[in-house]
Structure 1
Amino acid sequence: MQVDELYALLDKLQIGFEKVEHPAFGSIADFHEAGIEFPGQNVKCLFLRNRKGSRYFLLILDELKSADLAALAVQIGESRLSFGSEERLMELMGLTPGSVTPFALADDREQRISVLLDDGIRQDDLVGFHPLINSETLCIQYADLLKFLAHTGHVPVQVTI
């Protein structure tokens, strides 16, 4: 999926957003150093895999939290979790590091990636995600995130981080 196709899909699904344009950064810390602010709750997305590399996960969590991957693995019934490789990220989501986003799940028609949602994300607030590139952020309602995931066939699992 290309960026313009994503915008068309969001329009079709009637998902409104606030767009913030910014320099392409590789990490949340870079945003803070540049003084960039987003409306709503800031979140981050992590691309993870299980020990065998047979299952992949997109973890969406509050940006201020650190993910305890050992504890998370226990919660979801895996023996161990680690970060997915750049090669797998490109293969499965068509993304490069720094641009990980649930919007890429529109192309995951086989549901090879499971979505994990931090239960600390405020459900009455905006959450921001890159629109497949990391030089923009689209801030959408939490309910619209769930609508988008439902459209892609991904049922998120609530986890405690």
Structure 2
Amino acid sequence: MRALIQRVSRARVTVAGRTTGEIGAGLLILVCAMQGDSEAEADRLAQKIVKLRIFKDAADKMNLSLVDTGGAALVVSQFTLGADTSRGNRPGFSAAAAPETGERLYHHFSDRLRAMGISVANGEFGADMDVELVNQGPVTIWLDTAG
């Protein structure tokens, strides 16, 4: 699985003008299941993200995790993280998991975060979404369970 995480002071996702998920301080997590991924990759990715020390401590050092801060997560499915741009100018997305697998793993990933005590809000799988965020830092990190 692939994820692009951004430390945010707030984030929100809307579908057709309707808010489907909104958080205050925490992480916006854009996530994509790839061909061959299973629940094991979703579990591993969730574990890594909640323990990643990218929030500032009292000494202004990135030394705290999402769990340490009590922050929330806004999880948004984004199959375009599976883009292959090696040929021409139009990206291919065949490396991303099929929609039914992607949706299953997207929900599994969100449920895994909840099981670890994280407050989770979600986008709407497969929808055309508008995502708003205030990236704090800015801090943006790419994660991939394959590498």
* TM-score normalised over the length of structure 2: 0.29
Give the number of the structure whose residues are more often helix, by fraction.
Answer: 1
* TM-score normalised over the length of structure 1: 0.27
Give the number of the structure whose residues are more often strand, by fraction.
Answer: 2
